[in-house]
Structure 1
Amino acid sequence: MPYDSSVYKGLLVQGRLHQALDYLAPFPEAAGLIQRTRRRFTNPRPLCRDADPLLAALDRTFQTYYNEVFWQELPLPDCDARLLAALVPLAGLSPADLPDDIPRAMEVTEGRLAELLEARGVHYLGGRTQGYFGPYIWQTTTEQVAQVELPDRIQPCKVCLLSDFIAKGWLDYLSLGQIGAGGWQDGDTLYCVLHRYRGGVESEAFQVSFLKHEAQHIYDRECCGETSGVLLEYRAKLAELIYSSGIACFRGMLFSADSTSPANSHAYAAWRVVGDLSRRVFGEEYTGDYARWKHRVQAVRRAALDAYHASYRPEVAASLRL
């Protein structure tokens, strides 16, 4: 089989760095990517992406965390604890200032870091993304307003276009900048990592994979009070498929799907989407062969719309609240 970058990227979305490199190994054209990735994780000197002492120290700290979690594959709770211990003094705090449990202690610590950086004109978003810590740090924000068409309503939202990034989370770091979060939602505001959309705000990637996906989150949180990460991602991915003009969007979900880790809500929701569409399109429990999907764009769109409406039935929503 020829090299398929979607397989490689799908494994990275699942957090499986070594499996992704194993996939690349047989392909001569991927030798350079393997070498650059190995160098990133075995070079004792971390990347230096900013001259500001606090930003440089933060970046080094998270790079150590990524190395422990994804390269050394050390137990995640231990890695989280070491990360917190390293961040606390950078935030000007002491352990006595913090709650006893790591999630709440990280929230306090990263909140303080965000305050310190805001005073420098730099924005910081912390917390977990798909189960792992890894901040987004940027300098420039441009605001606009959008009215986003969803299957059952027009969703108003504010859109913040973000640029001049210093750090873009763990997936960007693992993939050497090839992939990463395109944005996120907070309240009625959408935050867009602008450089992820090569065609700009008029591209289908922005209009569908970002705007409709994230506006769907607003709708579900505002109108349904929804908090389940898997259910939120499941509906947002279906919204993408309903409006996608080609099969590439579904293809990305197929190769990133992972049934083993509900904590990685994107990958787990993709697995549920593929399974539900497999039953609707092929009458099969799970169809993982992309060749059978690649000419079924309209069937995928119809099945996605059916699954979308079905997801609002109480028994279906309950099965996705993990």
Structure 2
Amino acid sequence: MDHFYSLCLQGDLNSAMDYLDSIQPRTKEIEEIQQMYIERFYSQEPAEPILEDDQWIKEVLAAYHHYFQGVLTKADLIHDAELTLNDRLRMLLKVESPFTIDETENELAAIFTEKGYHFLGGVTPPFRGAYIWKRCETVDFNVEIPHRSITVTVHMMSDFLLEGWIGFATFNNRTVGGWAKEDGLYCNVKSYNNLGDDDFQVCYLKHEAQHLSDYSCFPGLTSAELEYRAKLVELIYTKNHSILNKFLNDAKNDPDFPHPYASYNLIKNISSKILEKDYESNMNVWLAVDYQKISSAALELFDENTSALKRSAVEKETPRGQGDDSCITTS
């Protein structure tokens, strides 16, 4: 099912359903998953059960569910769906002012805070969130990333009501593990069974810590550029081919989807460096390559990218942000 969920993560529910329909033999699990998706996304009037007592919260969740259903099946254009979402949310706020969607979500965040919840709006490209959760605890970690170590504060989130379009598109079989903001890292605790495993220590902690470092060292990077560098860090520190396999499954040559696009560029560049090929998509070929060679190549690509960003910053005479020296310190 990895390929099916990869298509969902690329925001292409129609292709994902076509793929699911093509799988043979038809197991009971596949039949059940297909029925779940039909009921959530393709029924005459899709309605998602919402287990929440607060009627206002239920209606906010229903508004986002309707938005997700429209954009993920391409039944609605993204711009039109966002306008409809904004109108529905403004009605719940009981305001007549022509708020932008960002202003509307700021108002929602204030009300959710009063109700004892945390709310994060905005866009997880190319679609809007939101993320709504109940509990949050903070823990500090010292994290080694290429050529430096940094101390980060991680806000450990749990008890989610909504996990963005990614969670909705996959029935939470794939969820956002967390994100980086200027006040620290945010971690979706249920995504990690053991905080000592690479899933957390590398795929989350080092990945997101690299984002924090890049925010300071190279402000203004696009989401795809940030993801490319953080994914290279994952390859540098992991111990086997599993992460590379994940990137292969997720890769898509589409700049509108920063995570899949970063995976595509990473595979393209590491294929050129190790195999002297434009793009190697066969995992069996990669399994024949000693993983240490892949890790070393990832570090080379990371350093080459860092050098290119430094040159670009000098050419544009753009400051790299506070603490320039710390951005280039080598271990």
TM over 0.5: yes
| In 2: Cα distance, 1:24 partner to 1:44 partner | 20
Query: Are 1:258 and 1:271, in contact at CA under 8 Å, matched by a contact in 2?
Result: yes
Alpha-carbon distance in structure 2 between the residues aligned to 1:59 and 1:142? 24
Give the C-alpha shift of residue 241 in structure 1.
0.8
User: Secondary structure of the equivalent of 1:33?
Assistant: helix
Partner residue in 2 for 1:36: 36
* Alignment partner of 1:83 is 2:85: yes
**Cross-structure match for 1:300:** 294
2:315 maps to what in 1?
A: none
Answer whether contact 1:48 1:56 (CA < 8 A) is retained.
Answer: yes
Secondary structure at 2:306 match in 1:
coil
Q: Give the AA of the match of 2:58.
A: A
1:290 alignment counterpart: 283
Q: 1:157 to 1:186 in 2, by over 3 A?
A: same
- Partner in structure 1 of residue 55 of structure 2: 53
SS in 2 for 1:313: helix
Deviation of 1:192 (Å): 0.3
Q: 1:280 aligns with which of 273, 276, 281?
A: 273
Q: Deviations over 1:137-173 (max 9, x none)?
A: 0010011101110011001110011001111111111
1:203 corresponds in structure 2 to: 197
What is the rounded CA distance, in whole Å, between the counterparts of 1:186 and 1:315 in structure 2? 21
Q: CA deviation at 1:74?
A: 2.1
Give the Cα–Cα distance (whole angstroms) in 2 for the partners of residues 60 and 89 of structure 1: 13
2:321 aligned residue = none
Q: Hey, what's the Cα distance between the residues in 2 that align with 1:86 and 1:168?
A: 19
Whether contact under 8 Å (1:54, 1:90) holds in the other structure is: yes
Please list the CA deviations of residues 173-207 of structure 1 after superposition, one character each: whole Å capped at 9, or x if unmatched: 111110010000101400000101122x1221011
1:102 maps to none
- Following superposition, the deviation at residue 61 of structure 1 comes to 0.5
The one of 198, 206, 210 aligned to 1:216 = 210
Report the CA distance shift for 1:238/1:317 in structure 2 as closer, same or farther (over 3 A): farther
Aligned amino acid, residue 89 of structure 2: L
2:218 partner amino acid: C
Q: Residues 40 and 69 of structure 2 are in contact (CA less than 8 Å); yes or no, is this contact kept in structure 1?
A: no
Q: What do the CA deviations read for 1:3-51 (whole angstroms, capped 9, x no partner)?
A: xx22112211111111112222223232221111112222633221311
Letter in 2 for 1:228: T
The correspondence of residues 1-322 of structure 1 with structure 2, limited to 5 A, is 5-25=1-21, 26-27=23-24, 28-29=26-27, 30-41=30-41, 42=43, 44-96=46-98, 98=99, 105-199=100-194, 201-260=195-254, 262-296=255-289, 297-314=291-308
**Does structure 2 conserve the Cα–Cα contact (< 8 Å) formed by 1:220 and 1:226?**
no
**One-letter code aligned to 1:304:** A
State the alpha-carbon separation in 2 of the partners of residues 95 and 20 from structure 1: 39
- Shift of the alpha carbon at 1:267? 1.1
**1:270-321 per-position Cα deviation (integer Å, ceiling 9, x unaligned):** 1110100110111011111122113432222111111111111237986xxx
Following superposition, the deviation at residue 72 of structure 1 comes to: 4.3
Confirm or deny: 8 A CA contact 1:258 1:267 kept in the other structure.
yes
* 1:93 Cα deviation from its structure 2 partner: 2.5
C-alpha separation between the residues in 1 aligned to 2:310 and 2:212?
A: 20
* Identical-pair percentage: 29
Q: Deviations over 1:231-261 (max 9, x none)?
A: 111000000111111212111111111112x
Change (3 A) 1:88 1:317: farther
Letter in 1 for 2:65: Q
CA distance, structure 2, for counterparts of residue 219 and residue 91 of structure 1: 37
Could you list the runs of 5+ residues in structure 2 that have no partner in the other structure?
313-331
**Partner of 2:135: helix, strand, or coil?**
strand
Greater Rg over alpha carbons, structure: 2
Equivalent residues of 1:11, 1:255 under 8 A apart: no
Q: Determine if contact 1:114/1:125 at 8 Å carries over to the other structure.
A: yes
Cα separation, 2, equivalents of 1:16 and 1:81:
21
**Please, what is the CA RMSD of the aligned residues?**
1.6
In 1: Cα distance, 2:183 partner to 2:88 partner: 33
Aligned length: 305
Amino acid at match of 1:8: F
